Amino acid sequence: MIPIDLIQSTAENLMDKAAIEIPDDYLSGLEAAAHVEDGDLSAFVLQAMLENYKAAKEDRRAMCGDTGCPRWYVKMSNEAQVQGGPVALETALRRATAAATNGVPLRPNRVHPLWRTDHDNNVGIAAPEIEYGFEPAPGGEWIDLTTVHKGGLFGTDYRMLFPSDGIEGIKRFYLDSLVAFGKRGLSCQPAIIGIGLGGSKDACMVLGKRAACLRTVGDRNPDPKIAALEMEFKELGNSIGMGAMGFVGKSMVIDCHIEVGYCHTGGMQMSVHAFCLSSRRACARIWADGRVEHRTDPAWFTPYQRRETVEWPTALAAE
Amino acid sequence: MAPPAKIRLSTTPTRQDLEALRLGDIVHLDGLMYTAREGVYKRALEEQANIPMELPRESAANFHCSPAASIDADGSFRLGAVTATASFRFEKWLGEWFEKSGARLIVGKGGMSSATYKKHFVPNGAIYLTTVGYGTGALLGRGVENVEAVHWEKELGLAQAMWVLKCRDMGPFIVASDLEGNCLFERENAKIAENLHRAYEGTRPAVLKRYGETDDRSDELIG
Ligand code: SF4
């Protein structure tokens, strides 16, 4: 049984870390981009961002004043039991979100879409989002909490493509999205770009967003042909001629991650998601015996999450 | 390439101060700056509420921003990071706002169009400064010496309230328009557009177009 108080205190801690500490993988990615950037204004922007991450850590203040929309990814081992059950778990995550909004402080971004009601705590109807995943993990009783504070308004798009659009059509929509949101730097590039292919419309959005937010810089899709596409798309995005803030330059994409889902035979859904300069994610595994292990890699996409077949052999799960 | 020049600028600048600025210059601000976005504009312009500051004497710098901040039980403020929000959405209020506020600096994210600069900024002797990144919220937060006041917090909520910030060497900002209404982002976009066709080689437009993105109601959308 995983203690509920520990879940809430860990969640509060994660909110703080996500808002303040840039993950190492993204930081190295940005340093590499800054190294090759030769557009004078773009290069200045990247240097300012690197200084900004330092200032955030030194002062323990949020790295960006727009602290995005906090959301939760919860993954449980098959044997995990939470004290008080799933309702207590969701209450703890909502409480932690509200407490950290006031504590860090974060910007109370979440409002009612029509009445603009603001509870000043980032909690409301369907907010924060809480998504779930499960892992076979025989013999382990743990829960993984990941919070992502994704920048809100720009850089994400969806389009229903068709098999006849082919790779040329996929590339076209990818470039269109990067340029549209990259102009004037609305998507706060360079970013980790996540692409969802297939699924249904909602699943496609979910896959693309998770590809952007839950995979680290340098990680490759296990399908070698998709991995090659990821590399090609990173390169392509960086050859547009645009850099940070939409100035002349060559840094748009810190990394590109593609996730796929089986779709209707007539379609080829595609979504594009930019995880901005403030790539805020923090993760911890909480064990039933009270151990808490912090990390910045959510390690969400396991072989189990990408399973293709009906059965899941236990032998594989034990790996 | 030499790093761009860094200039200290008052939030109540003179015309000469602004004349000296070039597109792409890096600016740091000193003095009072207030936040005003849709909430403040609606209240001051549509509902004709009295602006609780003496403008532009106290400040001629309007920041399109909501800070990450909270108000403690004793009424004191805690301010962390400060980041601008995209300005293009506020165009419709700007003409009237300039008249009422006498602002000479609009500070925000992403700039506006040269058409807007020529129509509203140039006649009012104002320029646009853009934040950098745009995520340099922690650096900007460091430049806020004090929160002097938060107006209309009850009416508009924390995010839309009018925050009055005392700035000291607050930056960086980039000069995105000049007194003639030239636009830094349009200059950059034009340069980028020249070569964009290269990246687009080997791509193809989607077979099904989107309806409603043009005003052509007879669009067939396929092919
Ligand atoms: S999109 Fe830009 S302004 Fe918004 S959270 Fe990300 S870095 Fe900050």
- Which ligand 1 atom minimizes the distance to the CA of B85? 3
| Residue-averaged pLDDT of chain A | 95
| Cβ A197 under 6 angstroms from ligand 1 | no
Return the domain boundaries, chain A: 4-17+62-151+281-317, 153-275
Among the partner-chain residues A56, A105, A240, the one whose CB lies closest to the CB of B138 is A56
Distance A312 CA to ligand 1 centre (A): 40
Of B213, B156, B169, B198, the C-alpha closest to B42 is: B156
Model ipTM value: 0.90
Provide the shortest C-alpha distance from residue A239 to chain B (in Å): 6
Among the partner-chain residues A40, A184, A239, the one whose CB lies closest to the CB of B1 is A40
Query: Do residues A106 and A121 lie in contact, with contact meaning Cβ atoms separated by under 8 Å?
Result: no
**Domain A4-17+62-151+281-317: which topology?**
60s Ribosomal Protein L30; Chain: A; (3.30.1330)
Q: Tell me the two tokens of residue A84.
A: 């008080």
Which tens digits make up the pLDDT trace of B144-177? 999 999 999 999 988 899 999 999 999 999 999 9
Distances (CA, A) of B117 to A180, B45, B129: 22, 20, 12
Domains delineated in chain B = 6-200 (3.20.130.10)
Q: pLDDT tens per residue, chain B (223 residues)?
A: 556 678 999 999 999 999 999 999 999 999 999 999 999 999 999 999 999 999 999 999 999 998 888 888 888 888 888 989 999 999 999 999 999 999 999 999 999 999 999 999 999 999 999 999 988 999 999 999 999 999 999 999 888 999 999 999 999 999 999 999 999 999 999 999 999 999 999 999 999 999 988 898 888 888 7
Which tens digits make up the pLDDT trace of A143-161? 999 999 998 788 999 999 9
Which tens digits make up the pLDDT trace of A162-174? 999 999 999 999 9
Q: What's residue B2's pLDDT? A: 59
Which tens digits make up the pLDDT trace of A164-210? 999 999 999 999 999 999 999 999 999 999 999 999 999 999 999 99
Q: Whose CA is nearest to atom 4 of ligand 1?
A: A151
The span from the CA of A226 to the CA of B17, in Å, is: 54
The span from the CA of A18 to the CA of A278, in Å, is: 9
| Cβ B12 under 6 angstroms from ligand 1 | no
Q: What's residue A314's pLDDT? A: 64
Residue A141 burial (CB count, 10 A): 17
The span from the CA of A198 to the CA of A182, in Å, is: 25
Q: Cα B171–A152–A147 angle (5° rounding)?
A: 100
Question: Can you spell out the DSSP letters for A105-143?
Answer: T-----B-TTT--B-SSS-BTTBS-EEEEEE--TT--EE
The H or E element spanning position B171 is strand B162-175
